[in-house]
Structure 1
Amino acid sequence: MPQKKDPSVSFSESGAGQKGISASQEEDARQMIDMLRGDDVSGRIAAANKLESVAAALGEERTREELLPFLIDGVDDEDEVLAAIAGSLGKLIPHVGGPARAHALLPPLELLLAVEESTVRDEATESTLIVADALPQESFQNQYAEMMSRLATREWFTARVSACALIAKGFGRLTSDQQESHLQHYASLCRDDAPMVRRVAAHHLGAMCPN
């Protein structure tokens, strides 16, 4: 991220990251973190594409508590960097603690689902659906369902665009009460003031019908 100087995402505090990670892997991850903080856009893109390596070196706990907040702080970065981050987040499920902890990936994804650039939103949507498939039912019906509701009612139309695909594809896993409320959300999206939201809602309407 540009001008990021967060010292918490490093390897100096605990001396090392995940057990079983070689010194060369740890050094590569350290370099990736430095690149994420740097001013060079191409370097940040390259580092964002290697978040799996960084997370593997940090370990599950530090990935959740340090790397993900670090990424959240950088959502004002260049679109190319954000797209790379969005695409990488869906690959981090094993590195945050598996499906039981996969909901930790939702906060950065929720922010990326609302950005203006469509390529970023597309990558974020793909990763979000991967995370959704991995979530236990309880996490899906709590954190994930709440995120869908927030996106569907956000002021920025870009968030509502993203909500269309998520609701359509996740509708079947909701409780009956949640289905009722999310069906109302989807009906509102179909009548949205923004033409793009209406188009995307219509596009995904077929996925709602079997439900």
Structure 2
Amino acid sequence: MHGVLFQKPQHESKDKKLKVFNSGTVAMDVKLQRTVVFQGKGLKVIARIQNNSSRPIKLKYCLYRKHTFLATNKLKVITKDLLKEVGEPIPPSAKEKFTRVVPIPSDVEPSIENCSIIKVEYGLRVYLDVKFASDPEIKFPIVILPASWVPAASGFSRPPGASDRQHNTSGWRRGCQDFRCCRCGGERASSQPGTAEAVPGSI
């Protein structure tokens, strides 16, 4: 199951009709090589862009992180853009194919998805920079694992001492000694700048 998750690709398409200062349509078809990626590795992205508008457009990528903190009657969400890249202009009435390996920083914290008080989630936003119009975008959720968790023939290699209960595809929480626990992850995350949004509510 772990190997299936690691190799699972993602595929989305989007098109947009332009008005007012720009005319025509733009469309993108984007594929991600896999859903799970390791720290310090690359994520392969294949994008096909059709520019049937009257102006040049640009393909852009953004790797972002979302911290979610849950406390009594409060929910706090902090998002931060980690990496942005801009492609070459695509002229009007043109069709282009882009293949890009988006680098995953080696110092980002791994994903945490099964903790009751903190979540660390990642995503890749692929969008078109269109003048005088809102940018059409596609968001892909991704999971980042520790670099020490190398893939094996049947899936992920299991770190010493990790049990089946600890090693699962719904989350990657382990002990403080070799991963991010809830408390440590929360303290590290809250010290980093980002965009915060507080939403009242009960957990």
Compare CA radii of gyration and give the structure with the larger one: 2
Tell me which interval the TM-score lies in, with the shorter structure as reference length: under 0.3
TM-score by length of 1: 0.22
Higher strand share: 2
